[in-house]
C-alpha cells in the first residue's frame, strides 16, 4: 500500500480471483485529521476521500502514526516571546506577526463550489441578511482573496456553511447550482469547521469587520443545524468583538472608511440586532443589543450597484442626503427599494425589545421584587402598541403587503421575502405583547389561528427559504398554547386548542420535508394530540363518576349531621371525617377538604378536579350504572375542568419560554 492510499481500499493490482475483506477506514487522511472531520471514501474516486475531492486536496497519509501512552508536549509549546510578539497591522488583520506572511488556508474548496454556494446565499439568505455589498463581495471572491486573507477566509467559509445547510434543507428555489451530488454529511459541517478554525482564539487578533461577520454567519448556521449551544457561542463571540471594535457606535468606527464598508457595517449591526432579540425570545436569553445604547444609522435604501466606494449614485435618488449626514437613508425614484421593507422589520424588532422588557419585568415581579422603584414599570397596553404598529404598517408601500409567487428575478423575489418576513415578525410581536397580559383561552386561540392563517397565505417556497428560524416563529404558537394546556381546561376550550394544534401540524408538515433537525415534528404533534384526546375521554368518564359521588355525599350530609348531634361531639367528628374521606377519595383530597372546612361545598358547586393521580378508567359496569341512574351525569356541558397530567406535557417540544413564565 502506498502512502497515498487510504487503508481499507482495494489494491487493483491484485488478481480478481483473490478477494479481500472490505474493512472500514480506521485511519483518517491528513486533511480530515487536521480538520477533525469524518473521512469517507469517495464513490467517484475510490482512491481518495470525499472531503479531499470536494476541496481539491491531495488525499495523503504522510503523518507518522501516533504511539500509545502519554505524549510529551514540551517541544510543541510556544515561548512567551512568540505568543506576545504581535504587530498592530497583523493584529488588525487577524493574524499573529509570526504567521502574517506564512498564513495559508487549511483547505481551499473548488472555485465552482464556492460560486454555487455564493449564488444560493444571494438567492435565499441575502434578502434577510444582506451582510455583504454584493458587487464588492463578488470582486473579492473572483480574486480568490479568501486564499490570502484570514479574516475574509473565515467569513467566506461561514457564508458557504450557511448556504450549504439551507440548500441541503431544501430552501433553494432552483437546482441550477449543481449541488445535488454533494455528500449529504458535507460540506456544510466541513465549511463550518474551516470557518471556526480561521477565527483566532485570541480575540485581540480577530479584529475587523470580516471576523464579526463570520461569527454572525456561524450563529445562523448553528440555528440551521439545530445546534443552539453553538449559536450562543458564536453570538457571544460576535458581541465580544462588537464591544472591542465599537460597532454599536459610529463615532468609534475607524476614520476614512469607504461608503461601501459604512453600509456593510450598518447592515451587519442591525441584522445581528434583530437576530439577538429573536434568539432572546426564542430561548429565554438576555438581549445584549439595546437600541438605547447604540448609535448606528439604518442602511441606505438603495441597490448595491448605486452604492459606490466614492459616493452614492444620486441620479436615482428622490432626495439629497441632508448636509453633514451623507449616509442618511433615502429612497429611490419610482418603486420603493426592497430595503424599505427590511428597515421596517428592524423597526418591529426595536419595538419587540421593549415588549420583551415588559414581559420579563412582569416575570421578575412575581419572583424577585426590585429594591429600586424610582423608574416606572408602566408599559402601554397591547392595543395601544398594536395601533401604533399598524399605523406604521399602513404607511408601507403596497408591495410590502403582498407575497407574490416565486419568479426567476432575484430583485422581484426580494420584495416578497420582505413581505413574508414582515408578516412573521408582526405576529411574533403580537405574541409577545399578548403573553405579557392576561387573556382567555379563546383570545389565545384566536391569535394563534390568525398567525397560521397569515403564514398559510405565503407561498411555501418563501417559508422554506426562511427555513429553520421560521420554525421557531411557529413555535411561538406552541408557547401560547402550552400556557393554556398546562392549566385547567374545559372540554370546549380544549376543542379550540386542538384545532389550532392540528393546523400547526399541517403547516409544519410542509416545512419539515427536508429539515434535518425537525424531521417528524408534525407526526409527533398529531400523535401528542391523540394522547391528550385519549386522556380527556378517560377523565371525562371519571369525572362523571365523581359528579355522581359528590351528589350522594352531599345528600347524606344532613342525616350524618343529625346523627352526630345525638351521638355527641366525638362521634360527630368521626362521622364528619368519614364523609370527608369518602368525598376526598372520589374528588381529590385537597380540593374537598378546603371546600368542606369552609362550608362552601354545595350540590351545584363547580369543582376543578386534578385527575392526574387516578389509575385507569372506571369499570364498564360502574359507568353504565351511572348512566342508568342519571343519564345527564356524563353530559357535563363544559361545567367541569380537566387538569392534564404533567407526564403528558413534559416532552412538549417548543423552545419558547413565554407560557412557562407567566404564573
pLDDT digits (tens, 9 = 90+) for 13-31: 344 444 444 444 568 888 8
Q: Are 462 and 641 in contact (CB under 8 A)?
A: no
Single out the residue of 94, 298, 338 nearest to residue 213, CA to CA.
94
Q: What crossing angle do the helices spanning 259-282 and 228-245 adopt, rounded to 10°?
A: 140
End-to-end, the C-alpha distance of the chain in Å comes to 68
Q: Which of 247-251, 313-317, 463-467 has the lowest mean pLDDT?
A: 313-317
Grid coordinates belonging to 146: 479568501
Q: Taking a C-beta distance cutoff of 8 angstroms, is the pair 289, 482 a contact?
A: no
More confident residue, 389 or 21: 389
Say what the pLDDT of residue 226 is: 84
65 is a domain residue: no
Please state the rounded mean pLDDT for residues 187-200: 93
Confidence of residue 474 (pLDDT cuts 50, 70, 90): confident
Residues 512, 576, single domain; the answer is no
- pLDDT band per the 50, 70, 90 thresholds, residue 67: low
Q: What is the residue whose three cell numbers read 411574533?
A: 428
Residues 421 and 541 in one domain: no
255 and 378 share one domain: no
Give yes or no: residues 368 and 289 share one domain: no
The answer on pLDDT for 11 being more than 50 is: no
Hey, which of 105-119, 149-163, 379-393, 448-462 has the most confident mean pLDDT?
149-163
Residue 262 confidence (pLDDT) above 80: yes
Domain count, the chain: 3
Return the pLDDT at 456.
Answer: 82
pLDDT at residue 152 is higher than 90? yes
DSSP letter, residue 642 = E
For the cut 50, the answer to whether the pLDDT of residue 655 exceeds it is no
Same domain, 447 and 553: no
What are the grid coordinates assigned to 294, written together?
A: 447604540
In a domain, 442, yes or no: yes
DSSP 91: H
Range name among 155-159, 344-348, 589-593 with the lowest pLDDT average: 589-593
Q: Please tell me what DSSP assigns to residue 332.
A: B
Residues 274 and 132 in one domain: yes
Pair 202, 276 in one domain = yes
Q: Tell me which of 365 and 289 has the higher pLDDT.
A: 289
Least confident of 335-344, 478-487, 590-599: 590-599
pTM: 0.70
Region of poorest pLDDT, from 171-175, 222-226, 507-511, 579-583: 579-583
Query: Is residue 197 in a domain?
Result: yes
Average pLDDT over residues 73-102: 40
296 and 365 in a single domain? The answer is no
Q: Name the nearest CA neighbour of 608 among 593, 592, 623, 596.
A: 592
Q: What is the pLDDT of residue 503?
A: 86
H helix intervals, 368-409: 382-394
208/206 Cα distance (integer angstroms): 7
Task: Answer yes or no: do 547 and 411 share one domain.
Answer: no
Together in a domain, 164 and 274: yes
Residue 228 located in a structural domain:
yes
What is the model's pLDDT at position 414?
93
Is residue 7 domain-resident? no
Q: Give the domain range for residue 236.
A: 89-300+302-332
592 assigned to some structural domain: yes
What is the average pLDDT across 208-233?
94
Least-confidence region, from 46-60, 90-104, 318-332: 318-332
**In terms of domains, do 479 and 587 share one?**
no
More confident residue, 291 or 186: 291
- The verdict on residue 24 lying in a domain is no
Asked, as a colleague might, if the bond just before 87 is cis with ω within 30 of 0, I would say: no
Do 467 and 382 sit in the same domain of this protein? yes
Tell me what pLDDT residue 35 has: 75
Specify the DSSP element, H or E, that contains 169: none
591 in any annotated domain: yes
Amino acid at each position: 500500500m502506498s502512502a497515498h492510499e487510504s487503508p481499507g481500499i482495494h489494491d487493483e493490482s491484485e488478481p480478481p480471483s483473490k478477494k479481500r475483506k472490505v474493512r472500514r477506514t480506521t485511519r483518517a487522511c491528513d486533511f480530515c485529521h487536521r480538520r477533525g472531520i469524518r473521512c469517507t471514501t469517495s464513490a467517484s474516486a475510490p482512491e481518495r476521500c470525499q472531503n479531499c475531492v470536494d476541496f481539491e486536496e491531495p488525499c495523503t497519509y504522510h503523518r507518522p502514526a501516533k504511539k500509545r501512552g502519554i505524549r510529551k508536549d514540551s517541544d510543541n509549546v510556544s515561548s512567551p516571546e512568540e505568543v506576545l510578539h504581535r504587530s498592530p497591522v497583523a493584529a488588525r488583520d487577524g493574524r499573529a506577526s509570526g504567521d502574517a506572511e506564512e498564513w495559508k488556508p487549511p483547505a481551499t474548496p473548488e472555485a465552482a463550489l464556492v460560486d454555487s454556494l455564493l449564488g444560493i446565499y444571494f438567492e435565499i439568505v441575502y434578502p434577510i441578511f444582506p451582510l455583504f455589498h454584493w458587487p464588492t463581495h463578488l470582486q473579492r471572491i473572483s480574486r480568490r482573496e479568501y486564499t490570502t486573507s484570514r479574516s475574509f477566509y473565515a467569513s467566506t467559509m461561514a457564508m458557504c456553511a450557511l448556504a450549504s445547510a439551507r440548500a441541503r434543507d431544501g430552501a433553494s428555489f432552483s437546482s441550477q447550482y449543481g449541488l445535488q451530488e454533494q455528500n449529504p454529511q458535507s460540506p456544510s459541517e466541513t465549511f463550518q469547521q474551516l470557518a471556526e478554525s480561521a477565527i483566532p482564539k485570541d480575540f485581540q487578533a480577530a479584529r475587523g469587520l470580516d471576523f464579526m461577520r463570520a461569527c454572525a454567519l456561524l450563529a445562523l448556521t448553528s440555528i440551521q443545524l439545530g445546534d443552539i449551544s453553538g449559536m450562543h457561542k458564536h453570538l457571544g463571540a460576535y458581541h465580544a468583538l462588537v464591544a472591542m471594535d465599537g460597532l454599536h457606535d459610529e463615532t468609534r468606527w475607524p476614520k476614512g472608511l469607504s461608503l461601501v464598508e459604512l453600509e456593510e457595517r450598518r447592515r451587519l449591526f442591525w441584522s445581528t440586532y434583530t437576530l439577538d432579540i429573536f434568539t432572546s425570545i426564542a430561548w429565554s436569553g438576555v438581549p445584549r443589543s439595546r437600541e438605547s445604547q447604540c448609535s448606528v444609522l439604518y442602511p441606505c435604501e438603495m441597490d448595491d450597484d448605486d452604492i459606490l466606494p466614492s459616493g452614492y449614485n444620486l441620479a436615482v435618488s428622490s432626495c439629497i442626503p441632508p448636509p453633514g449626514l451623507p449616509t442618511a437613508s433615502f429612497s429611490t425614484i419610482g418603486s420603493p427599494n426592497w430595503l424599505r421593507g427590511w428597515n421596517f422589520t428592524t423597526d418591529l424588532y426595536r419595538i419587540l425589545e421593549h415588549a420583551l422588557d415588559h414581559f420579563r419585568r412582569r416575570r421578575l415581579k412575581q419572583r424577585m421584587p426590585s429594591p429600586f422603584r424610582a423608574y416606572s414599570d408602566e408599559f402601554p397596553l397591547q392595543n395601544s402598541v398594536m395601533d401604533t404598529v399598524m399605523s406604521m404598517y399602513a404607511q408601507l408601500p403596497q408591495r410590502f403587503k403582498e407575497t407574490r409567487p416565486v419568479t426567476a428575478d432575484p430583485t422581484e423575489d426580494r420584495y416578497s421575502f420582505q413581505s413574508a418576513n414582515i408578516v412573521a415578525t408582526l405576529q411574533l410581536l403580537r405574541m409577545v405583547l399578548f403573553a405579557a397580559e392576561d387573556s382567555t383561552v379563546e383570545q389565545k386561540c384566536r391569535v394563534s389561528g390568525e398567525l397560521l392563517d397569515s403564514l398559510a397565505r405565503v407561498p411555501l417556497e418563501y417559508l422554506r427559504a426562511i427555513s429553520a428560524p421560521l420554525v421557531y416563529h411557529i413555535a411561538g404558537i406552541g408557547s401560547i398554547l402550552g400556557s393554556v394546556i398546562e392549566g385547567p381546561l374545559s372540554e370546549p376550550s380544549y376543542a379550540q386548542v386542538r384545532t389550532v394544534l392540528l393546523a400547526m401540524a399541517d403547516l409544519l408538515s410542509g416545512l419539515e420535508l427536508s429539515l434535518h433537525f425537525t424531521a417528524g415534528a408534525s407526526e409527533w404533534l398529531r400523535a401528542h394530540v391523540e394522547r391528550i384526546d385519549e386522556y380527556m375521554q378517560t377523565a371525562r368518564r371519571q369525572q362523571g363518576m365523581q359528579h355522581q359521588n359528590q351528589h350522594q355525599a352531599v345528600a347524606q350530609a344532613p342525616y350524618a349531621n343529625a346523627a352526630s348531634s345525638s351521638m355527641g361531639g366525638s362521634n360527630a367528628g368521626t362521622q364528619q371525617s368519614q364523609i370527608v374521606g369518602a368525598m376526598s377519595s372520589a374528588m381529590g383530597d385537597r380540593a374537598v377538604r378546603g371546600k368542606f372546612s369552609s362550608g362552601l361545598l354545595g350540590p351545584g358547586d363547580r369543582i376543578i378536579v386534578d385527575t392526574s393521580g387516578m389509575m385507569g378508567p372506571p369499570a364498564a359496569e360502574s359507568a353504565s350504572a351511572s348512566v342508568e341512574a342519571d343519564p345527564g351525569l356524563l353530559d357535563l356541558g363544559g361545567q367541569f375542568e380537566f387538569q392534564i397530567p404533567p407526564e403528558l406535557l413534559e416532552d412538549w417540544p417548543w423552545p419558547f419560554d413565554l407560557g412557562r413564565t407567566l404564573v
